[in-house]
């Protein structure tokens, strides 16, 4: 699998939209600014909306979840 590339968030959201699968997006800031992470995810979801019943946003970082909410 060394030649396999991980899909971008936009590619994943588009795939989920086309195939009608549910997603659990776990947000991990990993040293990045939490606000930047949350804004990028929100921008991606605006561009490729997923019905709320098929989308779960999770994180072990409470500040991240609070910002996303």
Q: In the predicted model, what is the mean pLDDT of residues 6-27?
A: 94
The pLDDT of 15-42, averaged and rounded, is 89
pTM: 0.81
Phi, psi of 7, rounded to the nearest 5 degrees: -70, 150
- Look up residue 15 and give its two tokens: 């795939």
Q: With a cut of 90, say whether residue 13 has pLDDT above it.
A: yes
What angle do helix axes 9-19 and 34-47 make, rounded to 10 degrees? 40
């Amino acid at each position: 699998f060394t030649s396999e590339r991980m899909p971008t968030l936009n590619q994943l959201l588009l795939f989920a939209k086309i195939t009608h699968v549910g997603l659990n997006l776990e947000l991990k800031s990993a040293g990045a600014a939490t606000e930047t992470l949350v804004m990028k995810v929100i921008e991606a979801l605006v561009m490729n909306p997923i019905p709320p019943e098929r989308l779960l946003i999770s994180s072990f970082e409470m500040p991240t979840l609070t910002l996303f909410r």
